[in-house]
Structure 1
Amino acid sequence: MSLSNVTVNQPNIEPGHYSVVVVGGGQAGLSVSYYLKRAGIDHAVVEKKTVTHTWRSQRWDAFCLVTPNWQCALPGHPYSGPDPHGFMKKDEIIEYLDGFIAKVDPPVLENTGVIRVKRGDDGIYAIETTGGDFTADQVVVASGGYHAPIVPRMAERLPGEVLQVQSSEYRSPEALPEGAVLVVGSGQSGAQIAEDLHLARRKVYLAVGEAPRCARFYRGRDVVDWLADMRYYDMPVEKHPLREGVRDNTNHYVTGRDGGRDIDLRKFASEGMELYGQLDELQDGQLKFSPNLIANLDDADDVYNRINSSIDAFIEKNGIDAPMGEKYEPVWSPASERTTLDLARSGIKCVIWCIGFRPDFSWIDAPVFNGRGYPAHHRGITPQPGLYFVGLPWLHTWGSGRFSGVSRDAQYIVDDIVSVRSAAGGQQESMAA
């Protein structure tokens, strides 16, 4: 099927005043629009590109969900397909999103970037955009937290003949030049892209970071199913052992590919993938790596086994009949730490940077950000009246930035908007009396 957007109705969306302006037309912004429409609150969704464009333009060809389909629970649009425990592929995800867009029918202005948001002395927000100026009583920022790709300065010193690709730009092994590929970063994207290349029989060098991993299936069920029963996905950030520090955690690597399986970097290494520690520097044609490959692999396996042990404890406590589990034992271990790699001799013709993104909220003029540019908030409600955030990782729970939890967050924010508007209306009636 085509990966283009469905036709979006844009009824008279033009610069002017709205009760609420939602910045961002991804699943978070559309979820907010869904609840605003149900509450009868006039609003406009302003989208820099096109609605849900990230899923269409920033995912590789073989991309699929890493969480089972039953966790796709956008408001009014739960997964209803034939394979709730499967993992939708890219075209299926887009079809699911197209159905959601059609249901919401959002009042959206696409291809319109927001340049500045600032609250005036009168409490009204001024929103400057590439399509004109808006004003609003309240603003919901739903542009996500992954804006600026992280690429180290050493990238500037790579030879011009070495193609450099950021993870959001990667499409397929066939789209890369012939030769070896260096993948930098082993988080969710890095590990899956390395797997994609490895399965295509490309020579892969992988700079392994500190990302944890988890099992796909354990004791007869998907690990996600077990964790859901254990109420992990309902745990609010303030009750997580790491508190707000969990927002900085790298996602566990696992895959839903071919029905779902573990990603075991040790197995890949036994099949020919070259593993190194964290990439630190490029000097005189030599790539320099930290001597932390062994520690990073061991730490990832420790997390894997700890998650499984927590499932064991839950099964025992509740007397659940389940197949026996076993502890993961390494299938390969590096003989030593290798800290240098000659770029030319390795035959590396492409480097794929998979080391994440930085948030960029520089266009929001509001005193709510910490030193790292992250907004202070409680469940998306900031200290500045009328300014909200939704769709950020661990905004409230693990699912806040995913299909599984964004509906709950969007409803909570819209409920607060309704409450604030109701209170303001009551005050105005009291003053008039």
Structure 2
Amino acid sequence: MAVEKVDTLVVGGGQAGIAMSEHLSTVGVPHLILERHRVAERWRSGRWDSLVANGPAWHDRFPGLEFSGFDAEEFVPKDKMAEYFVAYADMIGAPIRCGVEVKAVERLDRARGFRVVTSHGIIEADHVVAATGAFHNAVIPALVPPSAGVMQIHSSDYRNPGHLPEGAVLVVGSGSSGTQIADELVHAGRRVFLSVTPHGRPPRRYRERDYCWWLGVLGRWDAQTPPEGAAHVTIAVSGADGGKTIDFRRLARQGVALVGRVNGYHDGAVSFDGDLAANLARGDADYRAVLDEADAYVARNGLELPEDPDARRIEPEPACVSDPVRVLKLAEAGVTCILWATGYSSDFSWLKVDAFDREGRPKHQRGVSSEPGIYFLGLPWLARRGSSFIWGVWHDAKFLADHIATQRGYLAYRPPATRASDVA
């Protein structure tokens, strides 16, 4: 069978792969995108039914296409997000081949480029862009054994309250996923325990501007490194129900029982750290810091944005915080399910090249790998804070496309047959 050859192979047909395709086309680089499922598959099947984008429609999109049928301040449902990326790929004529899995990428022996083993044959490529992001495998800590007799499910597999067995639910993780799912469950009449871990808690809106707007004007999207100690701290923000600030005390008032970080399991009971109050205080401090910085920006620039004193009001301390549960007997509490909103790990095992450190993390500068010809796109903090977000990945893709085009220019250069110095 003949080996197919391409200049640049993009692995992944989600938002990163589509952004990469647009910029490669702009600079004239021939390329092919391989997607093992469908375009934007994670938006389709890797999220719960009621999920919406965490940013408003004016922000969470690519520059070249607005959302049809949504106001600028609305939060787009996940299915419409998938449709958006399909429409964008069609608009730019992205060369996507779906249903093809990349199994291995290895450098060619004594030749430029890479041998790519796929489920549909061999491809040779001069450049390979890993546009699969960083969130590949769901992480469920090995704390509660299967013998505990409760359903254990990751947030990526959750769909709706009816998807879970009758009874109470322990939700572990207080980022966007965990808090939104806990909110949905309690409104569906479930008894819910929410394990609150260290988190950032920004305002959804402040002084008539969305948080995404404040991140932009305050320069936070462009931060190149995370604040000290905050690299792996989750952010509790939501676009659900038209967008609202996540307030754990309000969740408690609505019936969610807040607990600290899960630290173990023994004889039918889950135990928690005594860090609940501290975690809430840390989130409050992050929240107030954003408000303070926003107020200073308004004053410094003389903006006429209305004051918002209600934003600084903190709900009273609920009893579950002042008298926290340290041990939860699952059967006694009626808990039939533990839902782990505990994030993902990366899996680049298919990239068999020298592009990773000892911990398996990609070695790169703004996505340009330490292995010449290999590129990464969609990683958190790839170039800045916004790199793993929709608009951020679009801008990072432009940088990588320009880099690939520049390298192609060097390799295509041929010196003149006769130089003026030779004639003289």
1:263 corresponds to which residue?
246
Q: 1:114, CA displacement in angstroms?
A: 1.6
Amino acid at match of 2:394: S
Alignment deviations for residues 204-228 of structure 1 (CA, whole Å, 9 cap, x no partner): 0111111211111112322222232
* Aligned Cα root-mean-square deviation (Å): 2.0
2:208 maps to which of 196, 220, 229: 220
1:9 corresponds to which residue?
none
SS class of match (1:118):
strand
1:137 maps to which of 117, 122, 126: 126
Q: 1:25 to 1:309 in 2, by over 3 A?
A: same
Amino acid at match of 2:258: L
Q: 1:355, CA displacement in angstroms?
A: 0.5
Alignment partners' CA distance in 1, 2:249 and 2:357: 39
SS class of match (1:73):
coil
Q: 1:304 to 1:429 in 2, by over 3 A?
A: same
Alignment partners' CA distance in 1, 2:139 and 2:208: 38
Q: Could you tell me the TM-score, scaled by structure 1's length?
A: 0.90
Q: 1:236, CA displacement in angstroms?
A: 4.3
Instruction: Give yes or no for the alignment of 1:168 onto 2:151.
Output: no
Q: 1:268, CA displacement in angstroms?
A: 1.2
Alignment partners' CA distance in 2, 1:128 and 1:394: 29
1:156 corresponds to which residue?
145
Amino acid at match of 1:293: L
How many residues get paired? 413
2:367 maps to which of 373, 377, 380: 380
1:54 corresponds to which residue?
42
Contact 2:144–2:264 under 8 Å retained in 1: no
1:370 corresponds to which residue?
357
Aligned residues with identical type, % of pairs? 36
More displaced stretch, 326-335 vs 113-122: 326-335
Contact 1:73–1:407 under 8 Å retained in 2: no
Contact 2:39–2:82 under 8 Å retained in 1: no
Alignment partners' CA distance in 1, 2:398 and 2:416: 28
2:294 corresponds to which residue?
311
Instruction: Give yes or no for the alignment of 1:273 onto 2:260.
Output: no
Alignment deviations for residues 344-390 of structure 1 (CA, whole Å, 9 cap, x no partner): 11111111110000111122122222233221212111122111111
Within-5 A mapping of 1:183-202? 183-202=171-190
2:338 corresponds to which residue?
351
Contact 2:180–2:240 under 8 Å retained in 1: no
2:422 corresponds to which residue?
none
Alignment partners' CA distance in 1, 2:418 and 2:333: 78
1:393 maps to which of 365, 371, 380: 380
* Structure 1: segments with no counterpart, 5+ residues: 1-13
Q: 1:293, CA displacement in angstroms?
A: 0.7
SS class of match (1:70):
coil
Alignment partners' CA distance in 1, 2:36 and 2:156: 17
Alignment deviations for residues 49-69 of structure 1 (CA, whole Å, 9 cap, x no partner): 222100000111111111111
Q: 1:362 to 1:157 in 2, by over 3 A?
A: same
2:82 corresponds to which residue?
94
Contact 2:57–2:70 under 8 Å retained in 1: no
SS class of match (2:365):
coil
Amino acid at match of 2:306: P
Amino acid at match of 1:152: P
Amino acid at match of 2:232: N
Contact 1:179–1:349 under 8 Å retained in 2: yes
